[in-house]
Structures are given as C-alpha cells and as structure tokens.
Homo-oligomer: A and B are copies of this chain.
C-alpha cells in the first residue's frame, strides 16, 4: 500500500504511538499490548492494531508488541530514522524561537539554512546560523539538498515564499503563517495554525 493511500488520521496516530513507545522505553518497559497503548492515548485497542497492521505484522499473539522493535519500525515507516535537513524562511520572533528550539535534533531534524528579506536582519546570526538573503534561497536549497522548509513569514508573504520553495525543489512545507497556502501536487504542506487552534478552544469552552 502506497503512503498516499494511508488515511491521514492513521499516519498522525503513528507519531503518537512512537512518542509513547519512546517514553515506555525510557521507563524500561519492553513489551506493550494494543489495549495498553490505546488506553494511554485515548484510542481503542482495535484501532491501534488496525493502524499498525497497515504496515506489516509487528506484534506477537499472546504477548503484544516489543517496544524497541516497534520503535525502530515506526521510525523507519515515518522516515525519521535518517536526518532531515530543513530551511527556515522568516526570522521574526517565531522563526528565531524555532531555530533555537532544541526539540528538533532529538527527532532527527536539523535547520541548516535561514532566510529573510529584511536587510537589517540579513547577515545577523541566529543560533549558529547566519541569516541569508531570500535571493540565495534557490541556490542554497539545491546545493544542500534540503527537502523540508518551515515558513514563518507574515501571511501576505507566505504564498510567494511557498512558490519559490517549491520551484527550488522543496518537497514538504511546515507553514506557521496564518493563511492557507496552496502547493502543487507532489509537494506536501502541513499547517501549524494558532488561530484555528485557539478558536477551537473558545468554540468549545464558551459552548456550555
């Protein structure tokens, strides 16, 4: 089964499984059943088994899943068994915080190039990286074979930046700009949308 055919809900849950398994590993738990895993994450045991079964037979009847083995499988399936180089565009408050965010390394992600179009920011250093002018984007992305980019620019600029990233050969975009951006088919885009999330909260919180 091709990855494109996997329901999005399933692949999202794979990440949750992986994170929980990693925490079990830290607690030196070596085996876990679908019902235990489900209970910890608020899912049914059947759903856990069905999700994992999309990708192979990882469990042992009567025993459950071997934590270490399932972690390795999930990392391979998700593609996080290798390091991913990322570019970040937009060095405002959020961009700066993302560059400094230590969580990426743990997951095998690394920001290796940072861009901005503000001449006052270009050339300054963020973390260990010199901010490059936006004009260097295409060359830098190609040269370093960067495949994932983070957009942290204002809403008005987001689509234009996305177009350039796509033209430069980027395959996936994580979009923090508060606007929907459109990318051509083989390219993937995920939105981290504070507005949507906060309004989700106010909608549910007021409705009582």
List residues of chain A with CB under 8 Å of any chain B CB: 2-4, 6, 8, 11-12, 14-16, 18-20, 23, 40-42, 77-80, 84, 93-94, 96-97, 100-101, 103-104, 107, 109, 147-148, 171-174, 178-180, 182, 186, 188, 190, 192-208
Which B residues are in CB contact (< 8 Å) with A204?
Answer: 3-4, 11, 172, 188
Which B residues are in CB contact (< 8 Å) with A23?
Answer: 179
Rounded to whole angstroms, the CA-CA distance of A173 and B4 in the bound complex is 32
Task: Give the contacting residue for A16; candidates B3, B41, B196; CB below 8 A.
Answer: B196
Rounded to whole angstroms, the CA-CA distance of A11 and B79 in the bound complex is 31
> Known contacts A15-B196, A178-B103, A192-B197: does B3 contact A207 (CB below 8 Å)?
yes
As for how many copies of this chain the complex holds, the number is: 2
Which B residues are in CB contact (< 8 Å) with A178?
Answer: 19, 103
Which B residues are in CB contact (< 8 Å) with A193?
Answer: 15
Extra pairs beyond A77-B203, A174-B198 (4, CB < 8 Å): A19-B179, A79-B199, A103-B195, A147-B205
Rounded to whole angstroms, the CA-CA distance of A172 and B96 in the bound complex is 27
Docked-complex contact B207 and A2, CB < 8 angstroms: yes
Docked-complex contact A101 and B94, CB < 8 angstroms: yes
Docked-complex contact A174 and B188, CB < 8 angstroms: no
Docked-complex contact A199 and B101, CB < 8 angstroms: no
Task: Give the contacting residue for A19; candidates B195, B202, B206; CB below 8 A.
Answer: B195
Docked-complex contact A80 and B199, CB < 8 angstroms: yes
Which B residues are in CB contact (< 8 Å) with A198?
Answer: 84, 104, 107, 109, 148, 174, 190
Which B residues are in CB contact (< 8 Å) with A179?
Answer: 19, 23
Which B residues are in CB contact (< 8 Å) with A195?
Answer: 15, 19, 103, 107
Docked-complex contact A18 and B199, CB < 8 angstroms: yes
Rounded to whole angstroms, the CA-CA distance of A18 and B196 in the bound complex is 10
